[in-house]
Amino acid sequence: MAQINVKVNGRAVSKQVEDRTLLVEFLRETLGLTGTHVGCDTGQCGACVVHLDGRAVKSCTMIAAQASGSEITTIEGLAKGDELHPMQAAFHRHHALQCGFCTPGMIMTAVDLLRRIPHPDEATIRANLDGNLCRCTGYHNIVKAIAAVAESGAGV
């Protein structure tokens, strides 16, 4: 068994799990944080993206033990209480989600993008979504929502 000591959404967590437990399994099954999703087995879809020490990573492509000692933010930890993160608000306002399944990973990737590149052009936004698949929106409104947050300067 592996001892996992992490801070998740600001809360210190200490749990023992099988060594083979993926980070996403730890989040979903051990901690009940089911906002992070699993959409593939090969690391392409990005439905599982969370922030690990401030950087976007795919939680299905890490075992939980690798993350021990780190701080993790999941989609559940992005809003400040009832106040949505500007990216969440923009996804809502611009209809950047339909079925919602890719949305948590997409939002976490988008927040990470604007932290790295505060004012991306459309091509840069699209290139930075290489690791996130959406089957519903054709990305049109996702790109619009991210661009709107960038424009407002409220990204970080």
Partner 1 sequence: MYQTTYVRASSLAEAANLLRDNPDAKLISGGQTLVPTLRQRLARASHLVDIVHLAELRGLTLEGDRVVIGATTTHAELAASDLVRQRIPGLAHLAGLIGDPPVRHLGTIGGSIANNDPAADYPAAVLALNAAVHTSRRTIGADDFFTGLFETALDPGEIVVRVSFPIPRRSAYEKFHQSASRFALVGVFVAVLADGSIRVAVTGAGPCVFRATSIESALARSFTAEAAESAAISADGLNSDIHGSAEFRAHLVPVLAARAVAQAR
Partner 2 sequence: MAHDGIGARLPRKEDRRFITGAGNYTDDIVVRNAAHAEFVRSPHAHARILRIDVSAALRAPGVIGVLTGAELADDKVGGLICGWMIHSKDGSPMRAAPYAPLARDVVRYVGNPVAIVVAETKNEARDAAELVEVEYEELASVVDPAAAQAPGAPQIHAEAPGNTIYQWALGDKGAVDRAFAGAAHRVEVDLINNRLVPNAIEPRAATAIYDRAEGRFTLYTTSQNPHVTRLVLSAFVGLAPEHKLRVVAPDVGGGFWSKIFIYPEETVCLWAARRLGVPVKWAADRRESFLADAHGRDHVTHAEMAFDASHKIVGLRVKTIANLGAYMSTFSSSVPTYLYATLLSGQYDIPAIYAEVDAVYTNTTPVDAYRGAGRPEATYVVERLMDIAARRLRIDAAEIRRKNFIRSFPHQTPVIMNYDTGDYEASLNAALSAARYAEFPARRAEARSRGKLRGIGLSCYIEACGLAPSQAVGSLGGGVGLWESAEVRVNPVGTIEVLTGSHSHGQGHETTFAQLVAERFGVPTDQVSIIHGDTDKVQFGMGTYGSRSAAVGMSAVNKALERVEAKARRIAAHLMEAAESDVELKGGEFVVAGTDKKIAFANVALAAYTAHNLPPGTEPGLKEGAFYDPVNFTFPAGTYVCEVEVDPKTGAVEIVQFTAADDFGTIVNPMIVEGQVHGGLAQGIGQALLEGCRYDRDSGQLVTATFMDYAMPRARDLVSFNVSTTATPCKTNPLGIKGCGEAGAIGSPAAVINAIANAIGVERIEMPATAQRVWETCRAAQAAVAAQ
What's the rounded Cα separation, in Å, for the pair 23 and 15? 12
Choose among partner 1, partner 2, none what residue 36 binds, the Cβ cut-off being 5 to 8 Å by kind.
partner 2
Q: Is there binding between residue 92 and partner 1 (CB under 8 A)?
A: no
Site for partner 1 in 13-72 (CB under 8 A): 18-20, 22, 41-44, 46, 49, 52, 55-58, 60-63, 65-66, 68
What's the rounded Cα separation, in Å, for the pair 15 and 99? 32
Task: Choose which of 11, 32, 80, 83 interacts with partner 2 (CB under 8 A).
Answer: 32
* 152 burial type by CB count under 10 A (0-12 exposed, 13-18 middle, 19+ buried): exposed
Q: Which residues pair with 80 in a beta bridge?
A: 83
Give the H or E element holding residue 8. strand 2-8
Choose among partner 1, partner 2, none what residue 7 binds, the Cβ cut-off being 5 to 8 Å by kind.
none
Site for partner 2 in 99-118 (CB under 8 A): 99-104, 107
Q: Is there binding between residue 1 and partner 2 (CB under 8 A)?
A: no
Task: Choose which of 2, 13, 30, 84 interacts with partner 2 (CB under 8 A).
Answer: 84
Compute CA 114 distance to the chain's CA centroid, rounded to the nearest angstrom.
Answer: 13
